[in-house]
A and B are shown apart, each in its own frame.
Chain A
Amino acid sequence: MNEKVMLIDVSKCTACRGCQVACKQWNRLPAEKTQQRGTHQNPPDLTPATWNLVRFTEIPLREGGVRWLFRKDNCMHCEDAACQRACPVPGCIFKTAEGAVVIDTEKCIGCEYCVNVCPFEIPRFDSATKKVYKCTLCWDRIGNGQIPACAKTCGPGAVTFGPKEKMIAQAYARAKALGGDATVYGDKFVKGTHVMYVLPEKVRMYEKLTINPSVPVSVYLWKDFLKPVSVLAIGAALVGTFFHYIIKGPKRPEEGGE
């Protein structure tokens, strides 16, 4: 495997939002009509046309002063991708050799299964096209030896991209150097993600960052239990009735009852 990881070192991110624009440029996504709503975060959330959003969180500190945290939010490209498990259309959500989890929008039927099972609330449904969209890890670039558009544009070097093992090592080294509450986010759940963070603060300090994410239990119940069981149930019923027929036999009306 040629697995790659995008490492987002939040401690270096200055919220310049170059990545947000680069993503739109590379993926030819339209601008959205927005309003100043009392924050620099805009659009307010991920949308079908915004696959990469820099989130701004202001946290007043008890000891005085303020923290202003920035986080680039996009698909985590899970190794165990709940979205892919859920998708009803074969080949619609597929994984590349690099580990990118990609939606083939041609195939997407807009059932929104992926939207509702993603532990990171990533995919977004477009009611106009009736399809779902999200970050592709620029699979069309990385498959050709390029790095993702957002990583390419990131001036401060907060977003880097490279071989999985190397990036994980880099992430841990950086978190260690930062010290304090710094952690690495990404390698310890859903069998590892192909987008990882170095977080200088605790996970809960960041807007919309899932604490202890996992593939939802409901997905296992649904796809790994009930799905096979439904065949079993029908099969069992068929077998049961068959044996009933040959052992007990049908119930015939009494002769001459007319």
Chain B
Amino acid sequence: MTNHWNDIANADVILIMGGNPAENHPISFRWVDKAMVKGAKLICVDPRFTRSAAKAHIYAALRSGTDIAFLGGMIKYILDNNLIQKEYVVEYTNAAFLVDEKFDFQDGLFSGYDAKGRKYDRTTWKYQMDAKGIPKMDKTLQNPNCIYQLLQKHYSRYNLDLVSKITGTPKDDLLKVYKGYTETHKPDKVGTILYAMGWTQHTVGVQNIRAMAIIQLLLGNMGMAGGGVNALRGESNVQGGTDHALLFHIIPGYNPMPRATDKTLADFLERNTPKTQDPKSLNWWKNRPKYIVSLLKAMYGANATKENDFGYSWFPKLDEGQNASWLILFDQMAKGKFKGFFAWGQNPACSSANAGKVRKAMETLDWMVNVNLFDNETGSFWKGPGTDPSKIKTEVFMLPCAASFEKEGSITNSSRLMQWRYKAINPPGQAKPDLDIMHALYQKVRKLYKEKGGAYPEPILNLSWNYGPKGPDGTIKHPDPHFVAKEINGYTAKDIEVEDAKTKVKTVVAKAGEQLGSFAFLQDDGSTTSGCWIYCGSYTERGNMAARRGKADPTGIGLYPGWAWCWPVNRRIIYNRASVTWEGKPWDPKRAVIWWDGSKWQGDVPDGPQPAGDIYPFIMVPEGHARLFAAGLADGPFPEHYEPLECPIEKNLMSSQKLNPAVRLFGEPGIGAGADKYLTCDPRFPLVCSTYRVTEHWQTGVMTRWTPWLVELEPQMFVELSKELAKERGIKNGERVVVKSARGEVDAKAIVTERFKPFKIADQTVHQVGIPWHYGWVTPPDGGDSANLLTPTIGDPNTMIPESKAFMVNIEKKGGK
């Protein structure tokens, strides 16, 4: 989230699209309701009339996988009706920037496409630079190469008729949504977007969000209280997970993963540290070397020295061009490339797209360690349906672990808010906190490397591991989460002095050995450490900031700066410098986030301490301006509508590129082409399907399916379908049916409902259905199995997130046609 949960209460218009917060983020509705009590309008766009839709003032249905068409229509509506917040767009976005003349877009393809490699050469997707190396601009927005003009040209094709034909949304409804949402172009009207997996899990996942980001920028809603682009994270600590680099391509604090070709630290830093010639651009990432060196110091401690590149050579690296994302990992596993697998707090046998393939893949393993609260389909894959245990060689170890309330530690929620949690009760039986399990594992691995050597023992042996009080023999008996939290924050090995800009007087801000108060003090000379720079300031000399419980709200807009701690530097709304004019006056004085009082900033912690007017607001990009045109993505600088891998229509009505041209294909189309088969526009699978969650279960249900009270509420796998489709198929409400895709089938109970309606897509009737993905064969006995047995192996080209929100299925009555 750029903003935070409570901040939803500040919005004038709330758009729920690609998400279903009423069901999947139930507490968020506390803030949605607060906003509505104050008069806010709620708009919900979803293929299915959800519990969120039930609360909305405006609801519009769209076919799964057509969000860009829908939002592209909104961009066109904004531009056609001149509903941009002009000053904001000109000053704070790259609308005025001129783009390389060779940049082009023709029939669904941007310039530089390589059809064989299914990828783009992005050299033409760049700004024109002046002699000083500063991007050229035309603030009148008239130059045909300026981004504003390119944007207008790109979205001129997204007219109401075409959008309606693609999305299936009636034109009236489109207009209602467009009109309702774009009200917020006025400086004192703010709109927010709440989205989740309904936007990300597509072959155009990143571009869905980009499209909305463009809208938010055009309307001037970024950085504002009640605005922003807000990803509702699906797990309480998934934000913390990404911050600390649970993804393969980043290392803590959103730094890129080193590649094998980055031979030295200098190479790596050179390639990854952005530069700018513009004095008004703060270009925050210029500090990257400080963060990387501090990270290396945190990892290797005293073993990391200037001479050995701070241990850079011990740091894990990706091969050039290597993709180690989820889908690829399991693809490799299926091909027998893995010996063993730690399934730690996860259940890929149910959670992974094309779960049937994953279940088969696990049969190739020699061993598996399943760390979880309960038995699950992953740990028990060897006795799953259709599996013969006597033929499976895999040895499975189950390590029971402690639940969140059985251990101490922090979680970081969608608000980027790091909150400390205390242990309420002891874990049952042999269950242990994850930290204890990891600690024991590390001690053992280290001992083996030390005693027996190994291919490359240094990375293990040189690791600094000080996660608990040491006994007289130098060993740690019990690891302590406070030690980990302190290391994540970081400390300094020498005094840090800061010089006052005016008086030139130097003062010591941190003494040697002290915990650091801010990442502003991190150094690239090895004198500071920080396990994750964005968390620097979370555990300082003043103590554990995440454990704070201050309830003061000095600004009155719900920032609660004394409650826990939020990264970066306790800034509650990021990009907040965009909420004020160049002079530092809030666009919306009623809900001022920050303001310049003539000598200093008031309100939230500003994005950069420089006085008003000194720097551009978007400090995280080298050009300092928010990107309407974003050159960094794999599939184009502007979002473009492409059909999902599996779709109900023969042709993309927007262009002759049916599928996102930059996605990576697994397997070949057609039944029988291995586990990755897919079928599009096949009469055997005429129904558009989407997976989703319900309030009562969580993720693959490993926690909730063992909770009888929750099973009572949602006892069995179901499929929701319209009355019209049910009539066509002779399916009665509550009846048992089978849902099939090219990859597998699951049994389900039919919920025949008014909440799904057939779509008119390109003049043909298209039915959509939906299924939850919470079930699995282990428990409850009559619960059903995973919806992911049906989903395809395909991912977004930028993130590789699987496309489980739009694929094709069929429904049959159980036991016959």
Residues of A at the B interface (CB closer than 8 Å) are 11-12, 14-18, 20-21, 24-25, 30-40, 42-43, 58-60, 65-70, 155-158, 177
- A38-B735, A68-B755 provided; 14 other pairs, C-beta below 8 A? A20-B713, A34-B712, A35-B782, A36-B714, A36-B749, A37-B734, A37-B749, A38-B732, A38-B749, A42-B714, A43-B712, A66-B49, A68-B49, A70-B51
**CB closest residue in chain A, given B780:** A33
Query: Contacts A58-B753, A155-B27, A155-B30: A25 and B713 contacting too (C-beta < 8 A)?
Result: no
The minimal Cβ–Cβ distance linking B261 to chain A, given in whole angstroms, is 49
A35 to B735, CA, bound (A): 11
Beyond A16-B26, A17-B696, A21-B710, whether A42 also contacts B715 by CB under 8 A is yes
Query: How near does chain A come to B432, taking the closest CB pair, in angstroms?
Result: 26
Whether B594 sits at the interface, judged by CB under 8 Å, is: no
Chain B 703-734: CB-based contact to A (< 8 A → 1; otherwise 0):
00000111111111110000000000000111
**CB within 8 A of A21: which of B22, B59, B713?**
B713
Q: Are B734 and A21 in contact, CB atoms less than 8 angstroms apart?
A: no
Q: B708 contacts A31, CB within 8 Å?
A: yes
Q: Give the residues in chain B near A59, CB-CB below 8 Å.
A: 754
Contact at A14–B29, with CB atoms within 8 Å?
Answer: yes
- Pairwise interchain contact B715-A156, C-beta atoms closer than 8 A: no
Q: Which residues of A contact B53 (CB under 8 A)?
A: 68
Chain B residue at minimal CB-CB distance from A20? B713
Asked if residues A155 and B29 are in contact (CB atoms below 8 Å), the reply is: yes
B712 to chain A: closest residue by CB: A31
Interface string of B19-58 (1 = CB under 8 A from A): 0001100110110111001000000000001011111000
A25 CA to B733 CA, complexed, in Å? 31
Also in contact, A68 and B714, with CB within 8 A (given A36-B749, A58-B755): no
Q: Which 8 A-B pairs have the closest CB atoms?
A: A38-B734, A31-B708, A38-B733, A14-B22, A36-B716, A36-B749, A68-B54, A16-B26
Residue in B closest to A9 when the chains form the complex, CB atoms: B33
Main SS at interface, chain A: loop
Q: How far is the CA of A16 from the CA of B29 in the complex (A)?
A: 10
Chain B residues with CB below 8 A from A43, complex form = 712
How near does chain A come to B286, taking the closest CB pair, in angstroms? 42
21 inter-chain pairs at a CB distance below 8 angstroms, sorted by A residue, are A12-B29, A14-B52, A14-B695, A16-B22, A20-B713, A34-B715, A35-B734, A35-B782, A36-B751, A38-B735, A38-B750, A39-B751, A42-B714, A58-B755, A67-B54, A68-B49, A70-B51, A155-B30, A156-B29, A156-B32, A156-B33
Cβ–Cβ < 8 Å partners of A156 in chain B: 26-27, 29-30, 32-33
Q: Count chain A CB atoms within 10 A of each CB in B694, B715, B752 and give the residue with the most.
A: B715
Q: How far is the CA of A160 from the CA of B755 in the complex (A)?
A: 29
Q: Are B710 and A60 in contact (CB under 8 A)?
A: no
CA distance A34 to B51 in the complex (A): 22
Nearest neighbor of A158 in chain B, beta-carbon distance: B33
Interchain CB contact under 8 A, A157 and B712:
no
Chain A neighbourhood of B732, CB < 8 A = 38
Pick the residue among B52, B54, B711, B712 that contacts A70 (CB under 8 A): B54
Nearest-CB residue, chain B, relative to A49? B712
Residues from chain B with a CB closer than 8 A to the CB of A38 are 732-735, 749-752
Most chain A beta-carbon contacts within 10 A, residue among B735, B750, B752, B753: B753
Considering only CB atoms and an 8 Å cut-off, how many residues of chain B contact the other chain?
A: 43
Nearest B residue (CB) for A54:
B713
A18 CA / B34 CA spacing, docked (Å) = 19
Type the 1/0 row for B739-771, where 1 means its CB is closer than 8 Å to any CB of A: 000000000011111110000000000000000
Contact of B754 among A14, A32, A66 (CB under 8 A): A66
Q: Which residues of A contact B715 (CB under 8 A)?
A: 33-36, 42
Q: Are B751 and A157 in contact (CB under 8 A)?
A: no
B59 touches A14 (CB 8 A): no
Chain B residues positioned under 8 Å from A16 (CB to CB): 22-23, 26, 29, 51, 695
- For residue B754, which residues in chain A have a CB less than 8 angstroms away from its CB? 58-60, 66
Docked pose: A239 CA to B29 CA in angstroms: 70
Report how far A202 CA is from B400 CA in the complex, Å: 52
Tell me whether A68 and B51 are in contact (CB under 8 A).
Answer: yes
* Interchain CA distance A25-B713 in the complex, whole Å: 14
The minimal Cβ–Cβ distance linking A140 to chain B, given in whole angstroms, is 20
Contacts of A25 in B (CB 8 A): 709
Q: Please, what's the 1-or-0 string for B685-701, where 1 marks a CB less than 8 Å from any CB in chain A?
A: 00000000011100000
**A32: B residues at CB distance < 8 A:** 712
- B713 contacts A12, CB within 8 Å? no
B755–A17 contact, CB under 8 A? no
In angstroms, Cα B718 to Cα A35, docked, is 11
Q: Which residue of B lies closest to A41 (CB)?
A: B713
Minimum CB–CB distance for A176 against chain B, Å: 12
Q: How far is the CA of A32 from the CA of B735 in the complex (A)?
A: 21
Instruction: Give the residue of A14, A35, A39, A177 whose beta carbon is less than 8 angstroms from that of B37.
Output: A177
CB distance from B726 to the nearest CB of A (A): 10
- Nearest residue (CB) in A for B34 is A157
Among A17, A36, A157, contact of B30 (Cβ-Cβ < 8 Å): A157
